[in-house]
Structure 1
Amino acid sequence: MSRTGALSAGAGAGPAGEGTSVRAGWTVAAAPLLAALTALFAVFLTGFDQRSAMPPDVAARFYGFFLDRYPLFAFALVYGLARVLAAALAPSPASVPRRLIGAAIGLALLLGVSLHPTFGGMVLRAGFGTGSGAFLNGTPMTLAYAMGAAAAAGVFGLALGLGVLLTGRAPAPPARSRLRGAGRALLNGLTAFLALWFAAAVIGLARDAGFGPWPRRLLDARDLVVAAALLTVAALPHMVLVAARRPALTLRGQRHARPGPAGGAA
């Protein structure tokens, strides 16, 4: 095939390739929210609560102040774990061993900051400590709450971002200069942090929004609706951000790619 024919074929496949990239981006972006909602529905259907039989050591690690005060963080953790897995399974130039090892390290890191020494880990402790400390020092309640949500989002986002990077996700196309590349990376990190900050602020309001006393008693239908709505609203900015980035990275990478040598007769 001649060079002209190859370029024509590539141009003809452009719209189809773009559509595939968009669909893949939304699939990767929506999978974590679907996983969190599935976990929520599983809790509702099975009637799982604090009275369910669990090993004493496991129960002592999970049940306590932070689960009682921030119950939706349990499903936010499912969201984060699913995000790492989705990144590992998404199309990427990384090898299978790197994806497996990266995903294992990323999952362990996220579980560590979320569950050690007990439920909430460093994530909720950072948020609660920052917010309560600010309030006790005279900061208005709304601002103190926002500061606590920012601290929790920062710890969670750092672990989540490292986990996704370790899976070897598709890299961004090279920037024209180091300064531009650093600026793009900074902007991406800032927008991701803002999305997670919003999510942390929303799920922290579960009790104020009418979510019942789960896990001290069963989830009822009203609790299910409230929790599903809060989780969806909280995840939407981050989900849209992930969906928008993946097709953009793929398409920009294709534009920057140089055509290989033409095969066949000239």
Structure 2
Amino acid sequence: MRGTRAILAGVPLAAALLAVLAVAVTGLSQRSALPPALEPYAYGFFLDRYPLFAFALVYGLARILAAAAMPGPASPARRVVFAGLGLVLLLAAALHPTFGGLVLRGGFMAGGSAFLTGQPIGLAYAIGAAVAALVFGLAIGLPSWLGRAQVRRAGFWRRARGLAATATLSFLALWLAAALIGLGRDLGIGPWPRRTFTPEEALRAALVLLVAGLPHTLVIAFRSVGPAPAGRDRLPLGMPLPAR
């Protein structure tokens, strides 16, 4: 099961990197013909300023699906329901009303407000990245946890501490990822999506995404998994405990 968890933990990062490859190979850009329903999301300030967030969104969607497939006693129906809710929540947070959604708008507003109150540009940028990471992390983490969480009578505080540690490490990893993704233009990924990626720009974009996404992938892959209590000590979430 640990091996399966490690493999599934790496799938979202692989999906984001494959998305970069697909965009580079197909020459997808704003000059490409797009369905009318997708055109509003192919333009705008946030896509032009933070283009790598498009691939971060692929990472987030794949992360929700991978979490639903993780080994565990949760029923298939429960996994499907909460995975579906997670996908809808993330898409809404990232694309409503247009590209960037609440994730990038929240981060941009927080960072801009901090800068306007006299904070150094570096600190303001870090604050904006933290807000974006928090919104993104809640959108992918909360539905994933609800889809697999259990109520157990034994070891509650130990599991609570483990959950808090994992959540903290995940947030810090996403904070770093948000900061790096926001610097994509400065790191030489080129003007995509105004034009197609060149091979060098696609490689740079893939490297930025790899460095940005690897810490969170490692947190998910190697977080501690305690032994599952047997029998009456483990009950699905929401099921009342039997009277003794």
Give TM-score, length-normalised by structure 1: 0.82
Could you say which residue in structure 2 is the equivalent of 1:195?
173
The residue type paired with residue 92 of structure 2 is G
The 3-state SS of whatever aligns with 1:253 is coil
Deviations 1:130-156 (A, max 9, x none): 111111221111111100000000000
Q: C-alpha separation between the residues in 2 aligned to 1:194 and 1:175?
A: 29
Q: C-alpha separation between the residues in 1 aligned to 2:128 and 2:154?
A: 35
Change (3 A) 1:115 1:137: same
Deviations 1:171-211 (A, max 9, x none): 59766354x44433322211111111011011111011111
Could you say which residue in structure 1 is the equivalent of 2:109?
129
Change (3 A) 1:56 1:177: closer
Deviations 1:109-130 (A, max 9, x none): 0101000000000000011111
Could you say which residue in structure 1 is the equivalent of 2:155?
176
Change (3 A) 1:207 1:175: farther
Unaligned runs of 5+ in 1: 1-20, 259-266
The structure carrying a bigger helix percent of its residues is 1
List 4+ stretches of structure 1 deviating above 4 A.
171-175
Change (3 A) 1:71 1:229: same
Question: Does the 8 A contact of 2:5 with 2:71 survive in 1?
Answer: no
| Residue from 232, 236, 241 that aligns with 2:210 | 232
Question: Does the 8 A contact of 2:189 with 2:205 survive in 1?
Answer: yes
The residue type paired with residue 165 of structure 1 is W
The residue type paired with residue 221 of structure 2 is A
Q: C-alpha separation between the residues in 2 aligned to 1:81 and 1:74?
A: 11
Aligned-pair distance for 1:86? 0.7
Does 1:157 pair with 2:102? no
Unaligned runs of 5+ in 2: 232-244
Could you say which residue in structure 2 is the equivalent of 1:71?
51
Question: Does the 8 A contact of 2:30 with 2:42 survive in 1?
Answer: no
| Residue from 207, 222, 241 that aligns with 1:244 | 222
The residue type paired with residue 70 of structure 2 is A
Structure showing greater relative contact order (alpha-carbon pairs closer than 8 Å, 6 or more residues apart):
1
Q: C-alpha separation between the residues in 2 aligned to 1:129 and 1:137?
A: 12
Question: Does the 8 A contact of 1:36 with 1:76 survive in 2?
Answer: yes
Question: Does the 8 A contact of 1:174 with 1:181 survive in 2?
Answer: no
Does 1:146 pair with 2:126? yes
Q: C-alpha separation between the residues in 2 aligned to 1:130 and 1:223?
A: 30
Q: C-alpha separation between the residues in 2 aligned to 1:108 and 1:49?
A: 25
Q: C-alpha separation between the residues in 1 aligned to 2:35 and 2:60?
A: 25
Question: Does the 8 A contact of 1:103 with 1:166 survive in 2?
Answer: no
Could you say which residue in structure 2 is the equivalent of 1:18?
none
Percent of pairs identical after alignment? 53
Aligned-pair distance for 1:99? 1.4
Could you say which residue in structure 2 is the equivalent of 1:207?
185
The residue type paired with residue 168 of structure 2 is L
Change (3 A) 1:208 1:166: same
Calculate the aligned-residue CA RMSD, in Å.
2.0
The 3-state SS of whatever aligns with 1:216 is coil
Higher-Rg structure is: 1
| Residue from 62, 71, 84 that aligns with 2:42 | 62
Could you say which residue in structure 1 is the equivalent of 2:9?
29
Aligned-pair distance for 1:87? 1.1
Q: C-alpha separation between the residues in 2 aligned to 1:129 and 1:34?
A: 31
Deviations 1:40-70 (A, max 9, x none): 1110010000011113442123311000000
The 3-state SS of whatever aligns with 1:212 is coil
Give TM-score, length-normalised by structure 2: 0.89
The residue type paired with residue 59 of structure 1 is E
